[in-house]
Amino acid sequence: MQGMVRTESHADGDWLVRTVRGNDSGKAYRCPGCQQEVPASAPHVVAWPADGLGGLAERRHWHTPCWRARHRRTPRGSWK
């Protein structure tokens, strides 16, 4: 298994977050934070709601900085 899964609490709920080191699968994903491509070969973050209701379809691949800045991009996000 690649990377460790941790739980993060955010304004919009709890998320399971996995840090991926990058692999040679050749895939690419769309980062929800900046709408740019996330190559699977680059280290990045995979996040999905901790309630698991959405299943695998809810998994999103983020650039690590975009995930960290996510609460700043969400209009309804709150500053603690």
AA identity, residue 51: D
Q: Does 31 engage in binding with Zn ion (CB under 5 A)?
A: yes
Told to check if 63 binds Zn ion by CB under 5 A, we report: yes
Query: From its phi and psi, is residue 3 left (phi > 0), alpha (psi between -120 and 50) or beta?
Result: left
Does 34 sit near Zn ion (CB under 5 A)? yes
Alpha-carbon gap, residue 4 to 19, rounded angstroms: 6
Nearer to Zn ion, 34 or 42 (CB): 34
Binding to Zn ion by residue 61, rule CB under 5 A?
no
The residues of the shown chain that bind Zn ion, judged by CB under 5 A, are: 31, 33-34, 63, 66
